[in-house]
Amino acid sequence: MNLYLIIFTAGTYKVEQVYEKHKDLFVELEKHFTLHLVNYTDSESIPSHEYKMAFIASGGVENAVVRFFSILPYPITLLTDGLNNSLAAALEISAWIQSRDMKVKIIHGLVPDMANQVLLHHQAFAAKRSLKKKRIGVIGTPASWLVASHVDYLLAGQRWGVTYTDISIETVEKAFHEITEDEIGPEASLFAHRAKGIQEATPEELLRAMRLYKAIRRVCKEENLDALTLSCFSLIQSLKTTGCLALSLLNDEGIPAGCEGDLQSIMTLLMVKELIGKPGFMANPSFVDLDRNEVLLAHCSIPTKMAEEFIIRNHFETESGIAIQGIVHPGEVTLFKCGGECLDEYYLSSGHCIENTNMVTCCRTQLKVRLDKPADYFLHNPLGNHHILIQGNYTDLIQEFMQQNRCKPRID
């Protein structure tokens, strides 16, 4: 990975002297990046696609930054180790930038902490770049009950570079009827053998669910989709099967796939994949315990990669088809959602998955999570229904990503 530092320093610029004066920081950065030091007057030589950042190397450079302000990479970040009055200069520059109603971040502190912040910054930069030109398939129409989960396709494209593309439900239905028994039998058998157990579901229902998976997989390939959201309840009526198994397997394969045609949640799942490289569990908050600061998350599909083991069940609401009851190992988790019509708001909290429950009044996979942020967010100011659970604590990285992209946190 390349890191181009645009150097602002007082006096005559000599790359060897700059490197020696700030060697501790540069050596730490070189553990992660191939480092390139470029004087601010030569910044046009840096390839436009490369990762770059302003480095305030000394005091006395405030006017130079103001004069060459247009070369600063956006979002504006000032890296400074504090040597030679560089922090003082960075503070003055930051105040000038903010006075013009622009956001700016200063990276400063202990050397290992600064290097870690730059690494997070780069991961967020790389994820945003990788989102560009991603295609999100909207198969069917969003569920009628998702009244607050609309996305403006044009604004989403302008902000994130993604393309939402509508695909008729008939396209999947046609592919479903073209799939042969030979294409689904062995995989259905293998999936059944992977499961800890089977309850309620029949072999015929498993075959139909596997047929739907194959049909959606074919449509993904034909339409060159990077992610998809499925109007799954429509298919229950027309194909007499559920999409829960298909979405589970697609997420296992690294294709973010969401339920109910939810336009905001599928973007969240795609962000998680590009930023972290993991699948997420899209779920309904089904019960909130304010005294314990806990939320019960439930849905009928989960990537099997997220589960220690899983049970093949039927679908909770319709008592038909196939659903997945995943048993998830307790541990640190992150709860995240990107929402708003322009996809410019977000909710984010770390927490711990503390229990798998098996209530008869909720969807099949049920995870009780103790949050680190107040759970009354769900009751006072929620970003809609579905939220995404990720295994592990990734709040620092996601926070950096959302802030770089000028998104507003949803707080109580």
**What pLDDT is recorded for position 319?**
79
Compute the average pLDDT of residues 3-7: 98
Q: Are 64 and 175 within one domain?
A: no
137 touches 262 (CB < 8 A): no
Q: Are 322 and 401 within one domain?
A: yes
Whether residue 412 has pLDDT greater than 80? no
Q: Across all residues in the chain, what is the average pLDDT?
A: 95
Q: Are 187 and 304 within one domain?
A: yes
Q: Are 253 and 314 within one domain?
A: yes
Q: Are 237 and 360 within one domain?
A: yes
Q: Are 227 and 327 within one domain?
A: yes
178-237: pLDDT as tens digits: 999 888 999 999 999 999 999 999 999 999 999 999 999 999 999 999 999 999 888 888
Among residues 102, 130, 158, the one where a domain terminates is 130
Q: Are 176 and 256 within one domain?
A: yes
**What pLDDT is recorded for position 74?**
85
- Adjacency order of strands within the sheet including 309-313: 197-198, 309-313, 323-327
CATH number at residue 377: 3.40.275.10
Among residues 80, 115, 130, the one where a domain terminates is 130
Compute the average pLDDT of residues 124-135: 96
Q: Are 125 and 194 within one domain?
A: no
**What pLDDT is recorded for position 411?**
79
Q: Are 105 and 144 within one domain?
A: no
Whether residue 31 has pLDDT greater than 90? yes
CA atoms within 13 A of residue 219's CA, in its CB half-sphere: 32
Whether residue 138 has pLDDT greater than 80? yes
Name the one residue in this structure whose structure tokens are 């058998």.
189
Where does the pLDDT of residue 279 fall: very low under 50, low under 70, confident under 90, or very high at 90 and above? Answer: very high
Number of domains into which the chain is organized: 2
Q: Which of 134, 363, 95, 145 shows the shortest CA–CA distance to 226?
A: 134
Among residues 130, 146, 163, the one where a domain terminates is 130
- Adjacency order of strands within the sheet including 76-79: 34-39, 2-8, 52-56, 76-79, 104-107
The pair of structure tokens assigned to 59 is: 């005091």
132 touches 161 (CB < 8 A): yes
Q: Are 27 and 151 within one domain?
A: no
Whether residue 318 has pLDDT greater than 90? no
Whether residue 84 has pLDDT greater than 80? yes
Compute the average pLDDT of residues 20-46: 97
Rounded distance between C-alpha atoms, residue 276 and residue 115, angstroms: 19
299 touches 287 (CB < 8 A): no
**What pLDDT is recorded for position 364?**
95
45-83: pLDDT as tens digits: 999 999 999 999 999 999 999 999 999 988 899 999 999
CATH number at residue 87: 3.40.50.10940
Q: Are 142 and 113 within one domain?
A: no
**What pLDDT is recorded for position 163?**
98
Domain that holds residue 103: 2-130
Q: Are 242 and 351 within one domain?
A: yes
